[in-house]
Structure 1
Amino acid sequence: MFKLMLWQFKYSWKKWLGTLFVFTAAGIVLGFTFIGSFSTINAHLNNGRFNPVQFFAIPAIFGVITIILIINGVTRLLINSFSKDYQLWAVLGANPNQLSELVSGQMMLISLIGGTIGYLLSYPLTSSLYSWSCSTPGMKSFPHVTMYLSPQSFVFTILSVGILTVIVSFGDARRIFVGKQKHFFKFRKIRKQGMSPVRYLFSFAGLLGLIYLYSLFFQNPVQVQSMFSGKDDSLVGTYSNLFLLLTIVAIIAFSLLAPLILPFIVRLLFKITSHNHLKTFTTAYYNVLSKRSFLKSVIVPLFILILFTSYVTYLSIDLANVSSRRKLSNLLCK
């Protein structure tokens, strides 16, 4: 099986190369976490109220969620691309578990390559971003840490990307192959029309949770502080935890609703945009609608990146204003 996996990977490496950016991005995010965390721990600066490890751990949450959400779409695209090969192997007696091992093994190889590239790219990003963050009003109290590459951070980054990719891709591929087995392994294009009732239920629950968390920003800060932190924690930490939870719920809700929202947005853009003189725009419109899994695989990571950037900006700058206003209100009350 391992030789067959290497043979197909070598034979079709150009198609697998299209997924490299996904795992490179995951390597950058997780590399940011482990480089910053190990640099802080080795410098013995991971104690006290202003612990940089907590700051570096936040991107890992977004990175793990991103991998889990987009690997499903990537797996579907690759199975569609290699449908003739998988159909032949199924006729020759390969079962869903063997085919899933083949897919997950090749995705592990490309994830290790992308994770290594991402780890190397994350070093200058980690150093510059943390230096900039420490200069902002919200994080001036954090200690200055000298970032450096280490074997521990490299191993943890590669293992995290590889293991998570294998587990998620194997589960997604097996579910697809088992579903196709019921149709005698006729590997047609895999397209999911609409959403299941369970997905509608979870999407509705995600929207309600998103509305509730957003409404907390307009409630009494004392009540919010009692819900999301202890009495000794600052108001900055309270709203930091609240915004982090809001961001995670928004990512999950958007991923669940993406098959319903994204085609609607594409159709709306097609109607309001002048495309009479742009025939390629019309071609792209129908091409995007016919490949909804690809549309989700591209848009969801960008959406997560925008939310993550907003969170870092909010954490670095806006929280200082929240804390200052709260202290001012306490002085006025006295």
Structure 2
Amino acid sequence: MLTLIYYQFCYTKKQWLGTIPVFLISSILVGTCLTIANNISANPIPFQDVGTPTPIFVGPIIFGGLTLLFLISSSIQLLLNYFKEDYQTWNNLGTNRNQLSFLIAGQITIISFLVSIVGSFISFFVARYYYSLVQSLAGKTQLPSIPIVFNFKACCFTVLLISLLAFCGSFIHAHKILNQVIQSEENNNPKGNKLLRVVKLGGVIVLFLLWIWLASVFFYHPASLSGDNLIFKLDDNLLIILILHIVIIHFLSPELPEFIVKLLFRKTYSYSSTLAKWQVLENRSYLKSLSSSVIMGIVLISGFLMYSKVSYGDLASQSQQSNETNAVLLLFVAGPILVILANIITITILSSFAEKRIVQQWNVLGISKSQRYFVRLSEAGIYSLLIVIVSSIFNFVYYVLSLQLAKVMSVKVNSSVNAFLCTLLISILMFIFIVITKISTDRTVDKGTKEI
């Protein structure tokens, strides 16, 4: 089996190399935090009076690792869509889903292992600058200066952790997605498809009930909680809800974006918008991968801005204490954001392989280059509009909860416009990014057609 994994990887390595960005950033993130944590443990004397700050450097690893487990499914989905004919053939030849899942997980483990070795060495140089950045925010009193040296144990653990996360995440997601892909091809197991929908619906209901339970405290304060205890409870709930929003976004994709597209573009009045609409709805894996990744990033950044504005608004006059708080919060949010940004690059690279087939079909149908440009603009506009709508819904809900916390804390919130401007700015950047990547893919196909 290991020999088969190696030969299959060599045969399809061009496609698997598209996952390099997400594993490289993840390994740099983990390696940086572990290098700093090990150097802090090796120099305990400077931290005797202030306490060890190791936990704040472990936080990004935990949240970044969880985000990687969520987002790795998008890469697998895109690759399985590209190779689904091959895997369908393997299934017809008698290969079961466990063997196929192990084959896919093995190939991802190979690329993650090789990339994490490079990332772990790069993290040593990043760790020095990263510690200096956090030290400038928190101050040398809380983070004394220590020598940041290369740590072999941190390097090995980084490679092991990234490879293990890649294998476990890819095996679980590949097994689940293969069931859907193969069943959709066979089209002979409607009960299995119905069961999957029921399970997903049940998961969404459980998440919403948990969200209601956490949010109810903001409007109906328990009699047993008052004063500082109530503030601490609301503060903890607000952070948990931010993480819960990320999980809900993952569960609602791509069904929620699809519903919004069908609702807003029920009637289309131009050739480009009609073709763009069906292109978005047809490419469900890209819709799920792109929209969920970007929306997660926006919700995290906006939530961080609103949380710090409200929860620590009364520390505005105490600049040093405020900087310490922002440094801690930044560390916990930076991990998921970096992984999400790397995942956007990865899914763009992976989706370009499938896009080439679509462009070739358009050329056969006689769609001109000028018409393709308008289709690409309309397509990017739809994606950007979806990002604005969905992220604004979650941001507005979080903003209302933040105001309730501010009311209890008697903190005056001057403005949270930056959080909403963040949504608009990222959506505009994504519009430009999508247009450029898709047009460049079109030109690559045109260039290859001319050479033939």
Quick check: TM above 0.5? yes
For residues 81 and 33 of structure 2, the distance between their equivalents in structure 1, rounded to whole angstroms, comes to 34
Cross-structure match for 2:253: 258
Where do 1:55-70 residues align within 5 Å?
Answer: 55-70=56-71
Q: Identify the range of structure 1 (62-71 vs 200-209) with the bigger mean alpha-carbon deviation.
A: 200-209
Cross-structure match for 2:76: 75
Cα 1:160–1:185 shift into 2, 3 Å: farther
The AA in structure 2 aligned to 1:132 is L
The AA in structure 2 aligned to 1:41 is S
Cα 1:205–1:178 shift into 2, 3 Å: closer
Cross-structure match for 2:281: 289
1:151-188: CA deviation from partner (whole Å, max 9, x where unpaired): 1111111111111211222223233445667689689x
Report deviation, 1:308: 5.1
Q: Does the aligned pair in 1 maintain the 2:24–2:116 contact within 8 Å?
A: yes
For residues 63 and 135 of structure 1, the distance between their equivalents in structure 2, rounded to whole angstroms, comes to 23
Cross-structure match for 1:31: 31
Cross-structure match for 2:91: 90
Cross-structure match for 2:444: none
Q: Does the aligned pair in 2 maintain the 1:108–1:162 contact within 8 Å?
A: yes
> Which structure 1 segments of 5+ residues have no match?
229-238
1:204-227: CA deviation from partner (whole Å, max 9, x where unpaired): 443454465567678765123564
Where do 1:1-334 residues align within 5 Å?
Answer: 1-44=1-44, 50-136=51-137, 141-177=142-178, 196-210=197-211, 213=214, 222-224=228-230, 227=233, 239=235, 242=237, 244-264=239-259, 279=272, 283-306=275-298, 309=301, 321-323=313-315
Cross-structure match for 2:352: none
Q: Does the aligned pair in 1 maintain the 2:84–2:181 contact within 8 Å?
A: no
For residues 127 and 282 of structure 1, the distance between their equivalents in structure 2, rounded to whole angstroms, comes to 52
- In the superposition, the TM-score normalised over structure 1's length comes to 0.73
For residues 200 and 65 of structure 2, the distance between their equivalents in structure 1, rounded to whole angstroms, comes to 21
CA RMSD after TM alignment: 4.2
For residues 165 and 289 of structure 2, the distance between their equivalents in structure 1, rounded to whole angstroms, comes to 17
For residues 15 and 122 of structure 2, the distance between their equivalents in structure 1, rounded to whole angstroms, comes to 23
- In the superposition, the TM-score normalised over structure 2's length comes to 0.56
> Which structure 2 segments of 5+ residues have no match?
322-408, 410-452
For residues 22 and 193 of structure 1, the distance between their equivalents in structure 2, rounded to whole angstroms, comes to 33
For residues 122 and 284 of structure 1, the distance between their equivalents in structure 2, rounded to whole angstroms, comes to 41
For residues 46 and 303 of structure 1, the distance between their equivalents in structure 2, rounded to whole angstroms, comes to 39
Report deviation, 1:55: 1.3
The AA in structure 2 aligned to 1:224 is L
Report deviation, 1:48: 6.2
For residues 98 and 147 of structure 2, the distance between their equivalents in structure 1, rounded to whole angstroms, comes to 46
The AA in structure 2 aligned to 1:151 is F
Report deviation, 1:94: 2.3
| Larger relative helix fraction | 2
For residues 17 and 203 of structure 1, the distance between their equivalents in structure 2, rounded to whole angstroms, comes to 33
For residues 90 and 53 of structure 1, the distance between their equivalents in structure 2, rounded to whole angstroms, comes to 48
Q: Does the aligned pair in 2 maintain the 1:31–1:153 contact within 8 Å?
A: yes
Q: Does the aligned pair in 1 maintain the 2:31–2:120 contact within 8 Å?
A: yes
For residues 78 and 195 of structure 1, the distance between their equivalents in structure 2, rounded to whole angstroms, comes to 21
For residues 102 and 306 of structure 2, the distance between their equivalents in structure 1, rounded to whole angstroms, comes to 42
Cα 1:221–1:201 shift into 2, 3 Å: farther
Give secondary structure in 2 for the equivalent of 1:84. Answer: helix
Q: Does the aligned pair in 2 maintain the 1:180–1:186 contact within 8 Å?
A: no
Report deviation, 1:109: 1.0
Report deviation, 1:46: 6.5
1:133-161: CA deviation from partner (whole Å, max 9, x where unpaired): 33336996333344343211111111111
Give secondary structure in 2 for the equivalent of 1:135. Answer: helix
For residues 151 and 17 of structure 1, the distance between their equivalents in structure 2, rounded to whole angstroms, comes to 26
The AA in structure 1 aligned to 2:82 is S
Give secondary structure in 1 for the equivalent of 2:253. Answer: helix
Report deviation, 1:256: 1.2
Q: Report the count of equivalent residues.
A: 311
Cα 1:125–1:321 shift into 2, 3 Å: farther
For residues 195 and 276 of structure 2, the distance between their equivalents in structure 1, rounded to whole angstroms, comes to 21
1:8-31: CA deviation from partner (whole Å, max 9, x where unpaired): 211111111222222223223322
Report deviation, 1:321: 4.1
Q: Does the aligned pair in 1 maintain the 2:135–2:143 contact within 8 Å?
A: yes
